[in-house]
Structure 1
Amino acid sequence: MSRSLRRGALAASALVISIASLAACGAGNDAQTLGVRPDNAAVTVDDVKIQNAVVITQPDAAAQGPAVVSATIFNNSRTPQTLEAITLPGTKAKVELKAAEGSGPITVPANGSVIIGGKGNATATIANGHEAAKAGDAQEVVFKLSQTGEVELEAFVVPATGYYQDFGPTEIVKPPAASPTGSPAATPTGEAGHGSTPSGEASHAAGH
């Protein structure tokens, strides 16, 4: 093999190894962010990236219970940021934010991330979720951060089943019981004749 061909082969091999390394690194990052699903909403504004954002409703569409917003927020700046609010424009929904620990605000650390939704993580609960979002729709969600400001995206609305079961509302509400069908039972035969003279008395009166 000539020197030029050998040089080209080595360059090609190095390129393949480089691509493989990047792919492995990306897979590792995804694993650390709870297996981010690429079909869910994601947006980047300045140093903030919001990924895997969804609105998760009750498992049963007929249940009138709370819903939640689930997402992963990345902060690539050198200073921490506070998640001040999450709103759902076009609805009257109020989203209650709660940090993973304590009663303080949800803080996204510098060069770090915070997960909203799931056991042991921060939460964003929509009290009137059944009125604000319906499974199958897309809902505009606005994340307001202390430095970046408002970050908007369109999030899918999904029920808390399957993959989303562990990230959905902690309070699961059963749907209202269906009304019994069928007409009331017929009145017993004896009671139906309550207004008439018993047969025995009728015979006695006739003989009298």
Structure 2
Amino acid sequence: MSRSLRRGALAATAIVFSIAALSACGAGNDAQSLGVKPDNAAITVDDVKIQNALVITQPLDVAKGPAVVSATVFNNGRLPQTIQSITLPGSSASVALKSASGAGPIIVPAGGSVVIGGKGNASAVIENGSEATRDGDAQKVVFKLSRTGDVGLSAFVVPATSYFKDFGPEIVPAPPGTQPTATATPSGAAEGEHGGEPSGEASHAAGH
């Protein structure tokens, strides 16, 4: 094999490995800890690295309700840092922060990380998200940390569907003109089908 052909083969192999590495981004936090380059917004300022930043809206664009900021915040410093606020410059949106425990601020431990968004993690809820953001846009998001200060980046705005549904807003109001997911009617029907008639038949059988 000639020298040029060998170089071509090596380059092709490198591309294959790069694609495989990017595919691993969907594997969760383990992929992030391996240093895989994320598909979404990322930035490093001093000891702080913010990775996979997104603004996730309601799954249907006709639904009115909150949106959320989702990201992983790394702290490579020797001291813990508190996420004091998350803001969306250029909008009137307010972002409510809550730690994973539900009490106290969101603290990024020294040499550790915090995941924002998803069940069991810290949360950053944009109260008027449907008014402040629009799917497909790149939204400026600023994280204010107690030691590093402001860390800003542009995050993609995506609906809570497909890969993002488990990280989207917990409260999903019903679209206009439709019934909410949980209503008394389905519950009552379920009770009638599985609780009312069978129990009546059982009582009738017991009587005989």
- Please indicate, yes or no, whether the TM-score normalized by the shorter chain is above 0.5: yes
Matching of residue 125 in structure 1 with residue 125 in structure 2: yes
Partner of residue 111, structure 2: 111
Q: 1 CA distance for matches of 2:96 and 2:30?
A: 23
Matching of residue 33 in structure 1 with residue 15 in structure 2: no
Q: 2 CA distance for matches of 1:177 and 1:106?
A: 38
Partner of residue 100, structure 1: 100
Deviation of residue 46 (structure 1)? 0.2
Distance 1:157 1:177, change over 3 A: same
Deviation by residue 1:130-160 (Cα, 9 ceiling, x = unmatched): 0010111110000000000000000000000
More helix by share: 2
Deviation by residue 1:162-196 (Cα, 9 ceiling, x = unmatched): 00000000001121118xxxxxxxxxxxxxxxxxx
Deviation of residue 35 (structure 1)? 4.8
Deviation of residue 54 (structure 1)? 0.1
Deviation by residue 1:55-82 (Cα, 9 ceiling, x = unmatched): 0000000111000000000000000000
Q: Which runs of 5+ in 2 are unaligned?
A: 1-13, 179-208
Asked if the contact 1:60–1:174 (Cα under 8 Å) also holds between the matched residues in 2, the reply is no
Query: What is the TM-score when the length of structure 2 is the normalising length?
Result: 0.69
Q: 1 CA distance for matches of 2:113 and 2:154?
A: 20
Partner of residue 82, structure 2: 82
Partner of residue 148, structure 1: 148
Deviation of residue 32 (structure 1)? 5.4
Structure 2 residue identity aligned to 1:98: K
Q: Which runs of 5+ in 1 are unaligned?
A: 1-18, 179-208
Q: Percent identity?
A: 64
Deviation of residue 34 (structure 1)? 6.2
